[in-house]
Amino acid sequence: MTQEFFEEFARTGDRLSDALRLEFIAGRIEEKARPDGNHGRIIQWLTRLCIEAHPQRWLYVDQGLHVETYRKGNARPDGCLAPSGTFVGQGEWASPDGVLMAVEVTSHDSDTDRRDRVEKPRAYAESGIPVYLLIDRAAGEVLVHSQPGEGRYDMVVTVTLGKTVTLPDPVGMELDTEPLTAWVD
Protein backbone atom coordinates (compact mmCIF):
# COMPACT_ATOMS: atom_id res chain seq x y z
CA MET A 1 0.00 0.00 0.00
CA THR A 2 1.32 3.44 -0.82
CA GLN A 3 1.39 6.39 1.54
CA GLU A 4 -0.92 8.35 -0.76
CA PHE A 5 -3.46 5.52 -0.97
CA PHE A 6 -3.53 5.18 2.81
CA GLU A 7 -4.09 8.90 3.35
CA GLU A 8 -7.03 8.93 0.92
CA PHE A 9 -8.43 5.74 2.47
CA ALA A 10 -8.10 7.23 5.97
CA ARG A 11 -9.97 10.38 4.93
CA THR A 12 -12.82 8.26 3.54
CA GLY A 13 -12.73 5.72 6.40
CA ASP A 14 -12.96 8.37 9.10
CA ARG A 15 -16.14 9.67 7.51
CA LEU A 16 -17.62 6.17 7.32
CA SER A 17 -17.29 5.31 11.00
CA ASP A 18 -17.36 7.24 14.23
CA ALA A 19 -16.19 4.10 16.05
CA LEU A 20 -12.56 4.02 14.91
CA ARG A 21 -9.54 5.98 13.79
CA LEU A 22 -7.07 4.68 11.22
CA GLU A 23 -3.28 4.49 11.36
CA PHE A 24 -0.68 2.97 9.00
CA ILE A 25 2.09 1.37 11.08
CA ALA A 26 4.64 -1.26 10.08
CA GLY A 27 3.05 -1.53 6.63
CA ARG A 28 -0.41 -2.39 7.99
CA ILE A 29 -3.61 -0.44 8.39
CA GLU A 30 -4.50 -0.34 12.07
CA GLU A 31 -7.74 0.75 13.62
CA LYS A 32 -7.71 2.51 16.93
CA ALA A 33 -10.79 2.64 19.11
CA ARG A 34 -12.30 6.03 19.87
CA PRO A 35 -11.45 7.15 23.40
CA ASP A 36 -13.79 6.71 26.35
CA GLY A 37 -14.57 9.35 28.97
CA ASN A 38 -11.73 8.44 31.33
CA HIS A 39 -9.29 8.45 28.43
CA GLY A 40 -10.45 11.96 27.52
CA ARG A 41 -10.16 13.11 31.12
CA ILE A 42 -6.55 11.88 31.29
CA ILE A 43 -5.65 13.85 28.15
CA GLN A 44 -7.41 16.94 29.54
CA TRP A 45 -5.47 16.64 32.81
CA LEU A 46 -2.15 16.19 31.01
CA THR A 47 -2.85 19.12 28.68
CA ARG A 48 -3.40 21.42 31.64
CA LEU A 49 -0.17 20.28 33.33
CA CYS A 50 1.90 20.71 30.17
CA ILE A 51 0.58 24.23 29.55
CA GLU A 52 1.08 25.25 33.18
CA ALA A 53 4.70 24.04 33.04
CA HIS A 54 5.46 25.65 29.65
CA PRO A 55 2.79 28.10 28.39
CA GLN A 56 4.41 28.39 24.95
CA ARG A 57 3.67 24.71 24.25
CA TRP A 58 0.49 22.84 23.42
CA LEU A 59 -0.58 19.20 23.73
CA TYR A 60 -2.13 18.62 20.32
CA VAL A 61 -4.82 15.94 20.47
CA ASP A 62 -5.12 13.46 17.59
CA GLN A 63 -2.65 15.22 15.28
CA GLY A 64 -1.62 12.69 12.63
CA LEU A 65 2.13 12.21 12.19
CA HIS A 66 4.30 10.70 9.50
CA VAL A 67 6.38 8.18 11.46
CA GLU A 68 8.88 5.38 10.95
CA THR A 69 12.06 5.35 8.93
CA TYR A 70 11.69 7.18 5.64
CA ARG A 71 8.15 8.28 6.64
CA LYS A 72 6.50 4.99 5.68
CA GLY A 73 3.83 5.17 8.34
CA ASN A 74 1.09 7.30 9.81
CA ALA A 75 0.24 7.37 13.52
CA ARG A 76 -2.28 9.43 15.41
CA PRO A 77 -0.96 9.79 18.97
CA ASP A 78 -3.44 10.66 21.68
CA GLY A 79 -1.32 13.76 22.20
CA CYS A 80 1.75 15.48 20.74
CA LEU A 81 3.54 18.04 22.89
CA ALA A 82 5.08 20.70 20.68
CA PRO A 83 5.61 24.45 20.59
CA SER A 84 2.41 26.31 19.82
CA GLY A 85 1.98 26.66 16.06
CA THR A 86 4.17 23.69 15.14
CA PHE A 87 1.59 22.11 12.82
CA VAL A 88 0.29 25.24 11.11
CA GLY A 89 -0.12 24.57 7.39
CA GLN A 90 0.82 20.89 7.58
CA GLY A 91 -2.58 19.22 7.19
CA GLU A 92 -3.84 15.98 8.69
CA TRP A 93 -0.52 14.06 8.53
CA ALA A 94 2.34 16.24 9.72
CA SER A 95 6.08 15.90 10.11
CA PRO A 96 7.20 14.84 13.62
CA ASP A 97 9.85 17.60 13.52
CA GLY A 98 9.33 19.81 16.54
CA VAL A 99 7.39 17.20 18.52
CA LEU A 100 8.87 17.01 22.02
CA MET A 101 6.71 14.15 23.31
CA ALA A 102 4.19 11.69 21.91
CA VAL A 103 1.52 10.50 24.36
CA GLU A 104 -0.61 7.37 24.30
CA VAL A 105 -3.25 6.33 26.82
CA THR A 106 -4.15 2.66 26.51
CA SER A 107 -7.65 1.76 25.41
CA HIS A 108 -9.61 -1.37 26.10
CA ASP A 109 -9.14 -3.10 22.76
CA SER A 110 -7.37 -6.25 21.67
CA ASP A 111 -4.55 -4.47 19.78
CA THR A 112 -3.41 -2.07 22.51
CA ASP A 113 -0.54 -4.35 23.60
CA ARG A 114 1.04 -4.62 20.17
CA ARG A 115 0.20 -1.09 19.05
CA ASP A 116 0.95 1.07 22.13
CA ARG A 117 3.63 -1.07 23.81
CA VAL A 118 5.59 -2.38 20.79
CA GLU A 119 4.92 -0.71 17.44
CA LYS A 120 4.46 2.91 18.47
CA PRO A 121 7.56 3.16 20.67
CA ARG A 122 9.60 1.87 17.73
CA ALA A 123 7.93 4.25 15.25
CA TYR A 124 8.27 7.28 17.51
CA ALA A 125 11.92 6.47 18.27
CA GLU A 126 12.68 6.04 14.55
CA SER A 127 11.07 9.43 13.96
CA GLY A 128 13.35 11.06 16.54
CA ILE A 129 10.59 12.09 18.95
CA PRO A 130 12.59 12.69 22.17
CA VAL A 131 10.01 11.38 24.69
CA TYR A 132 7.20 8.85 24.46
CA LEU A 133 4.79 8.82 27.41
CA LEU A 134 2.58 5.76 27.76
CA ILE A 135 -0.17 5.87 30.36
CA ASP A 136 -1.02 2.20 30.68
CA ARG A 137 -4.41 1.97 32.33
CA ALA A 138 -4.55 -1.84 32.19
CA ALA A 139 -1.19 -2.32 33.92
CA GLY A 140 -1.63 0.64 36.28
CA GLU A 141 1.68 2.11 35.15
CA VAL A 142 3.23 5.09 33.45
CA LEU A 143 6.17 4.44 31.14
CA VAL A 144 8.49 7.24 30.06
CA HIS A 145 10.59 6.35 27.01
CA SER A 146 13.50 8.64 26.17
CA GLN A 147 16.82 8.77 24.35
CA PRO A 148 15.70 7.56 20.91
CA GLY A 149 18.32 5.36 19.30
CA GLU A 150 18.36 2.79 16.54
CA GLY A 151 14.65 2.01 16.22
CA ARG A 152 14.03 2.08 19.96
CA TYR A 153 14.27 4.21 23.06
CA ASP A 154 17.41 3.47 25.06
CA MET A 155 15.88 4.60 28.37
CA VAL A 156 12.52 3.44 29.75
CA VAL A 157 11.36 4.40 33.24
CA THR A 158 8.29 2.65 34.61
CA VAL A 159 6.37 3.80 37.69
CA THR A 160 3.21 2.55 39.33
CA LEU A 161 0.28 4.95 39.12
CA GLY A 162 0.30 7.23 42.14
CA LYS A 163 4.02 7.98 42.04
CA THR A 164 5.90 10.94 40.58
CA VAL A 165 8.00 10.53 37.46
CA THR A 166 10.30 12.91 35.62
CA LEU A 167 9.60 13.72 31.99
CA PRO A 168 13.17 14.41 30.81
CA ASP A 169 14.33 17.26 28.61
CA PRO A 170 13.21 18.61 26.27
CA VAL A 171 9.88 18.16 28.10
CA GLY A 172 11.45 18.98 31.46
CA MET A 173 8.74 18.51 34.07
CA GLU A 174 7.71 16.34 36.99
CA LEU A 175 4.49 14.36 36.63
CA ASP A 176 2.61 13.38 39.79
CA THR A 177 0.51 10.43 38.60
CA GLU A 178 -1.72 10.24 41.71
CA PRO A 179 -4.76 11.76 39.91
CA LEU A 180 -4.57 9.01 37.27
CA THR A 181 -5.59 6.41 39.85
CA ALA A 182 -9.17 7.77 39.69
CA TRP A 183 -9.40 7.35 35.91
CA VAL A 184 -8.22 3.79 35.32
CA ASP A 185 -10.85 1.12 34.89
Tell me how far CA of residue 128 lies from CA of 20, 145, 174, in angstroms: 27, 12, 22
pLDDT band, very low/low/confident/very high, at 38 (cuts 50, 70, 90): confident
Is pLDDT at 20 greater than 60 in this prediction?
Answer: no
Q: 124 in helix, strand or coil? A: helix
pLDDT for the residue 118: 80
Is pLDDT larger for residue 151 or for residue 135? 135
Is residue 22 packed enough to be buried (19+ CB in 10 Å), middle (13-18) or exposed (0-12)? buried
On whether the CB atoms of residues 127 and 68 are closer than 8 A, the answer is yes
Between 5-9, 93-97, 137-141, 156-160, the lowest mean confidence (pLDDT) is in: 5-9
pLDDT band, very low/low/confident/very high, at 70 (cuts 50, 70, 90): very low
pTM of the predicted structure, to 2 decimals: 0.81
Question: Could you tell me whether strands 64-67 and 101-105 are parallel, antiparallel, or unpaired per DSSP bridges?
Answer: unpaired
Q: Domains for the chain: give ranges and CATH numbers.
A: 36-182 (3.90.1570.10)
Is pLDDT at 117 greater than 50 in this prediction?
Answer: yes
Percent of the chain with pLDDT over 70: 75
- Stretch 17-28: mean pLDDT: 57
